Chain A
Amino acid sequence: MKYRSVFDIIGPVMIGPSSSHTAGAARIGRAARHLFGREPKYAHVHLYGSFAKTYKGHGTDVAIIGGLLDYETFDERIGQALETARKNGMKIRFHEEEAHTDHPNTARLKIGDDDGELELVGISIGGGKAEITELNGFDLNLSGSHPAILLIHNDRYGAIASATAILAKNEINIGRMEVSRKAQGEQALMVIEMDQNIDDTVLSELERADHIIQVAKISE
């Protein structure tokens, strides 16, 4: 089921005007921020479908950038997010795309700085809820309704076992898991949804595990 909580329906508490175009967009930006792990220095925001047609009036632009600044949907600073980000030195560009996408409210974010880059596709499915459908070229299905970790790893035997062993040792239960790779033997991605949030010591333990390249956490 796409929606698991009554607070997905009665909520979120948010800054208007549109739950899909403002709150959902802020959540996509915030997911990108959390995956990147720090405030980016540049952000290319590609908007598709209804996002592309109506983003200015709905504040989709300020919401996505607000998310990149780690603001929540109800943060009153969202209105000034563009100015704040630019003041912080973030270079921002919006691209209104004509291409047809599976979902009418789709955004592709390319963010980065001197140390790295991240590309993410998010869709806003209504009522302020967002899903991440692509990360660095990997297809994924991340609902955002559970705490999750993403592990970029080398496609080698033992990579998955080393990650799950660490979770087991720390008594963390896996609710859902998905592995995808671009090609055999190349970079791959593990998506693990868990019942509870994990702390940073577990994260750094995962980072040091065999064949793991990068780890990111998405809190509920």
Chain B
Amino acid sequence: MFRNVAELVELAESQNIQISEVMIRQEMEVKQLTREEVVGQMEKNLDVMEKAIEDGLKGVKSHSGLTGGDAVLIQNYMKNHTPLSGNLLMDAVSKAVATNEVNAAMGTICATPTAGSAGCVPGTLFAVKNQLNPTREQMVRYLFTSGAFGFVVANNASISGAAGGCQAEVGSAAGMAAAAIVEMAGGTPSQSAEAMAITLKNMLGLICDPVAGLVEVPCVKRNAMGASNAVVAADMALAGVTSRIPCDEVIDAMYKVGQRMPSAFRETAQGGLAATPTGRELEAKVYGISLKKE
């Protein structure tokens, strides 16, 4: 069983296989399942992700009324304009947003690695799909590669906003997505690790400050930024750019930053955007209570 990114890359390189293949084989071993069973279960997750994006792009609204409809706005903008940041990037953004809007509306999603950060991996996957034209099998592999990197973060650091801030959720998700894009685009296992490192470095220190305690504001838009961060980092890694700080050390740094984060910034709705005057007003409105005097 691989314990860190260095071991994961080493396993892939020494056997001349992809990261996704390392993850599939480990899962078969750990759970004593056949390849068909392991791959089949991931295909179902892929179906859930595709359906969530479809639903989100039709337009949804959360019960609180704080989020919904932005994915549609972005898609419409793409139809009528040439996005400054490019079509692929905005497509990824809209699909990440679509997923998280469905999540906020209590729809069905696949947590990747969590529900609040469920947009980055499928958002990038279904945007990159239009350019790389992967087979269904390659799309499933994308999820195994994401999972392999998330597995390392979850075991050595944290994927919980309450424990480690949003860097542990959207940060991890974005890093996972970046690594998977690299593999799908034909990059090497070590380039996947570089992309993960570059992405996570740029997410360090990200607090978890949900307005009214809900994973809506700012979470939905943070998934959009996580998705774009992932695409950019993947391109950088594919170009041959490396991270000066090795991926495992970045993950460790992320964990330590999270541990030192005050609890106000760890999903308690006590700090950051949640504690702004407007954040407090929205909170009072959502729960139908009068505004507490600070």
Contact yes or no, A10 B150, CB < 8 A: yes
21 A-B pairs whose Cβ atoms sit less than 8 Å apart in the complex: A2-B155, A6-B144, A9-B147, A10-B147, A11-B45, A13-B110, A14-B109, A14-B111, A16-B102, A16-B215, A17-B62, A18-B114, A20-B161, A49-B162, A53-B270, A54-B269, A56-B287, A79-B106, A104-B266, A104-B268, A126-B114
Contact yes or no, A3 B115, CB < 8 A: no
Measured CA separation A11–B161 after assembly (Å)? 17
Residues of B within 8 A of A154 (CB): none
Residues of B within 8 A of A16 (CB): 102-109, 115, 118, 215
B-contacting residues, A20-62, CB 8 Å: 20, 22-23, 49-50, 53-54, 56-59
Contact yes or no, A12 B116, CB < 8 A: no
Contact yes or no, A13 B108, CB < 8 A: yes
List of 8 A-B pairs having minimum Cβ-Cβ separation, nearest first:
A126-B160, A54-B213, A16-B103, A9-B150, A6-B147, A19-B115, A19-B114, A57-B214
Any B CB within 8 A of the CB of A67? no
Residues of A within 8 A of B91 (CB): none
User: Residue B154 contacts which of A3, A15, A17, A76 (CB distance < 8 angstroms)?
Assistant: A3
Residues of B within 8 A of A183 (CB): none
Stretch at the interface among B8-16, B23-31, B195-203: B23-31
Q: Which of B3, B104, B151, B287 has the most CB of A within 10 A?
A: B151
Measured CA separation A11–B266 after assembly (Å)? 22
Contact yes or no, B48 A13, CB < 8 A: yes
Residues of B whose CB lies within 8 Å of any CB of A are: 1, 3, 23, 26-27, 30-32, 41-42, 44-45, 48, 62, 64, 102-116, 118, 121, 143-144, 146-148, 150-151, 154-155, 158-163, 168, 176, 210, 212-216, 263, 266-270, 286-287
Contact yes or no, A50 B268, CB < 8 A: yes
Q: Known: A2-B154, A3-B151. Is A104-B210 also a contact (CB below 8 A)? A: no
Measured CA separation A126–B62 after assembly (Å)? 22
Residues of A within 8 A of B266 (CB): 50, 104
Give the shortest distance, in Å, between A44 (CB) and chain B (any CB): 22
Residues of B within 8 A of A144 (CB): none
Contact yes or no, A76 B215, CB < 8 A: no
Residues of A whose CB lies within 8 Å of any CB of B are: 1-20, 22-23, 49-50, 53-54, 56-59, 74, 76, 79, 103-105, 125-128, 195
Give the shortest distance, in Å, between B99 (CB) and chain A (any CB): 10
Measured CA separation A58–B213 after assembly (Å)? 8
Contact yes or no, B111 A57, CB < 8 A: no
Measured CA separation A13–B42 after assembly (Å)? 11
Contact yes or no, A13 B103, CB < 8 A: no
Measured CA separation A5–B148 after assembly (Å)? 9
Measured CA separation A128–B154 after assembly (Å)? 12
Residues of A within 8 A of B212 (CB): 57
Measured CA separation A207–B214 after assembly (Å)? 44
Q: Which of A6, A11, A50, A74 has the most CB of B within 10 A?
A: A6
Measured CA separation A152–B144 after assembly (Å)? 40
Q: Known: A2-B155, A17-B106. Is A58-B215 also a contact (CB below 8 A)? A: yes
Measured CA separation A109–B56 after assembly (Å)? 35
Closest to B24 in A: A6
